[in-house]
Structure 1
Amino acid sequence: MGQLNEWAHRKASKTIKLVDASGNPISGKNVHLTLTNHKFLFGCGAFDAVEVANKSVPAERLAFLEEKLELYLDVFNSATLPFYWARFEPEKGKPQTNELQAAARWLKERNMSVKGHPLCWHTLTAPWLLEMSNEEILKAQLDRIERDVTDFKGIIDTWDVINEVVIMPIFDKYDNGITRLSQELGRIGIIKEVFAKTKECNPNATLLLNDFNTSINYEILIDGCLQAGVPIDVIGIQSHQHQGYWGREKLEEVLDRFSYFGLPLHFTENTLTSGHIMPPEIVDLNDYQIKDWPSTPEFEERQAKEVEEMYSILFSHPLVESVTSWKFSDEGAWLGAPAGFVRKDNSPKPSYEVVKRLIKEDWSTNVTVTTDENGVLSFEGFLGEYELTCEEKKQSFTLDKNNPDIIQIVI
């Protein structure tokens, strides 16, 4: 399949009529049209934004983090912020609402789409839930959702509502309140409760069910939820590939299976290392704990090729709307894996240059068109936000499939 067909669903052809303030057509003028922000969401975990927005670290560290985020903001348009209950509210009744609101606003001011992750999860859940009965745990969980979804409405309107439910009721690494609750309510039961509350508190929010399990068990769970009327907006698929790149065949197989539901797909947590591959015999990735996991030039080249192929496959698929790499930098990466686009010292890897080229060049629109005698021009471009420039006058507009055939713009 050629590139034109692969990307057709990411583009629209539109006609624009340029007029002046009096309604007269602006004819015979060169007009420059530049995509400034993709509709497709290219993201990373942006946890460093919490420290930067709140200036909660020493000046030298702050400058380092600002440098890192500048590289990030130059390429990506989407960010995930951490709402792990154990860290967000380690002491009952004292959530870090102000700190996370500052981070979300900081990102929004920089034209980033922001998602909260997650509202409900058995791992890193509030330890004080263990002091409660299941009835009290459910109330606390729903109260938490009501408080946080309401507090962040307008700055975070996309949520991983509940995380990793396939394993939730059989999770046995340690006791926790959410696993207890899921054992009583069942998988679909707990999903129904948390989705209903989230939808009630922000009816216009985008709600994700998210899981690392891409087996038929996740398909069965999704099917059961939809049959039960759970308002799932997006299917979230984690793709932590510490044990090696999935490859085209597996990636397309996963896409085919989860496309069955006809819902948008977000690849919510992607990991591709630029170091050695985790041994295949490791069942739980968390069990692989080593002192040092270096990024090497050879493996950085491999990572860049894998990033290019994976992002291209996802961008070509009509149901995929977002891909988020879990760590932008190797610094502080999950399990110490060198899975970032930049190294620990903020120097960009080849994968950074690849993803920047894809987003900013290959999948971008930057054209000059001349208006006819009626002030009309036509162009085809990737969907998203645009800046139109004509004789140093600028106007912004959005190119969407739902735009009228002719857009009139006054400059």
Structure 2
Amino acid sequence: MGAAVLTVTATLLLALPDRAPVGELPALARSHGIGLGVAVAVDPLARDGGYQDVVTSNYTSVTAENTMKWEYVQPERDEFDWSGPDAVVDFARRHGLGVRGHTLLWHNQQPPWLSEGTWTGTELREVMREHTDALLGRYRGRITTWDVINEPLVDDGPRLRDNLWHRVLGEDYIAEALRMAHEADPGARLYINEFGIEGAGPKADALHTLVTDLLDRGVPLHGIGFQGHFVHGSVPEDLTEQMRRYSDLGLDVTVSELDVRIPEPAGQEQLEEQAREYRRVVQACLDVPRCVNVTVWGVSDQHSWIPEWFPGYTAALPFDGSYRPKPALAGMAQALERRRTGTRPGRTTPRTPPGHRTRLKNSKGPGIREPRPASAERPATPPP
């Protein structure tokens, strides 16, 4: 067994803290310059005190799980419902939390008027611009990060998904949507959010190729979201390496929708192993110079999407259905505690000066890439 394998094994076998670190994670995360987020639903956020306490005590930002998706925010062509998004944004403001906008273009959860419509390219571009201008314009300055493109690749392969936007506008719809979002809010950080890219494979390579092309063309893209919906026992060993590929391009990365589902029944042994997986994911973020946030997808197991979508799986989140902390919360804290007195690798590395050209391996032609526009630079303010 090699030394590297022994090191990893020893790391995973470290004992977890013997108490639940409720309330400690926000300060620990901020000490490293990263955020910890959680996906929230409108109803429990408004009415459930236990739900609210978990959010405000353990996280630094929120993502609207559903209420900013197209079917909810624009149920009719000329009708916007801001009640849900406003509730999330107002809650975040009252409690000093950041907000991640989710999501503009996705193949799911579209209203019938949009998904069943017959559109020309000109008409669909007009619809896309109306929606983008309304959503980003309303929350300009209050939502600083947006998932503009969600899941553009097919589930298990390297091809672009045959969605409404691709069928009508062609493969350049991604660049068009990013440009529209940048025009609507030039200060927002714009992301492509995808699953199945956390480990090496054709889909991961296809997204990297797509992103590299967008950057070479000067398209305003600032980050990549690694969703991180994992099955217990399947967190990729090369997650750090995959995220670094985008950090090396000058992009921010996040783990945007983290959960680790366990086959039923989930015993204590499985929960302890899950805690080590949560720790590994947070460690991976800390090991990547431009990883700015880890967001878990749901406040508690009671509110998780997993049982409905993956029957036979359970216990995917750091809090159980009664808002009691699970070992996963301690696993996240341990990753942050172990780095508390250190510095993150590469955090102080100077960026390429404006106007400087950098060489790329395996690039076509003379191997020169023009620098991205200033809109693609990282903001001076810390992540939410």
Give me the TM-score of the superposition, normalised by structure 1: 0.67
| Paired-residue identity, % | 25
- Contact (CA 8 Å) 2:28, 2:333: kept in 1 or not? no
Q: What are the equivalent positions in structure 2 for 1:252-331 lying under 5 Å apart?
A: 252-273=240-261, 275-276=262-263, 293-331=264-302
State the match for 2:165 in structure 1.
Answer: 181
Distance 2:191 2:29 in 1: 26
- Contact (CA 8 Å) 1:266, 1:322: kept in 2 or not? yes
1:133 aligns with 2:101: no
- Contact (CA 8 Å) 2:34, 2:293: kept in 1 or not? yes
What is the deviation of 1:294?
Answer: 4.5
What is the deviation of 1:69?
Answer: 2.6
2:258 match: secondary structure? strand
249-258 vs 223-232, which moves further: 249-258
123-132 vs 147-156, which moves further: 123-132
In structure 2, do the counterparts of structure 1 residues 213 and 152 end up closer, same or farther at CA, with 3 Å as the change threshold? Answer: same
Q: What are the equivalent positions in structure 2 for 1:236-247 lying under 5 Å apart?
A: 236-242=225-231, 244-247=233-236
Q: 1:42 aligns with which of 36, 47, 51?
A: 36
What is the deviation of 1:96?
Answer: 2.4
What is the deviation of 1:358?
Answer: 4.8
In structure 2, do the counterparts of structure 1 residues 132 and 300 end up closer, same or farther at CA, with 3 Å as the change threshold? Answer: same
Distance 1:125 1:209 in 2: 18
**What's the CA shift string for 1:13-34, capped at 9, x where partnerless?**
xxxxxxxxxxxxxxxxxxxxx8
What is the deviation of 1:210?
Answer: 1.4
1:67 aligns with 2:50: yes
Give me the TM-score of the superposition, normalised by structure 2: 0.71
Question: What letter matches 1:339 in structure 2?
Answer: A
Distance 1:106 1:163 in 2: 25
Distance 1:253 1:328 in 2: 28
Relative contact order: is structure 1 or structure 2 higher (C-alpha 8 Å, sep ≥ 6)?
A: 1
Distance 2:269 2:79 in 1: 47
In structure 2, do the counterparts of structure 1 residues 402 and 260 end up closer, same or farther at CA, with 3 Å as the change threshold? Answer: closer
- Contact (CA 8 Å) 1:41, 1:77: kept in 2 or not? yes
In structure 2, do the counterparts of structure 1 residues 327 and 128 end up closer, same or farther at CA, with 3 Å as the change threshold? Answer: same
In structure 2, do the counterparts of structure 1 residues 255 and 95 end up closer, same or farther at CA, with 3 Å as the change threshold? Answer: same
What is the deviation of 1:310?
Answer: 2.0
State the match for 1:110 in structure 2.
Answer: 95
State the match for 1:408 in structure 2.
Answer: none
Long gaps (5+) in structure 2: 8-26, 198-203, 308-313, 348-378
What is the deviation of 1:231?
Answer: 0.5
State the match for 1:212 in structure 2.
Answer: 195
- Contact (CA 8 Å) 1:161, 1:198: kept in 2 or not? yes
Long gaps (5+) in structure 1: 3-33, 56-61, 173-178, 277-292, 366-379, 384-400, 404-411
Q: 2:154 aligns with which of 167, 174, 191?
A: 167
1:344 aligns with 2:342: no
- Contact (CA 8 Å) 1:308, 1:354: kept in 2 or not? yes
Question: What letter matches 1:301 in structure 2?
Answer: E
Q: Quote the RMSD (CA, aligned, Å).
A: 3.0
State the match for 1:280 in structure 2.
Answer: none
2:295 match: secondary structure? strand
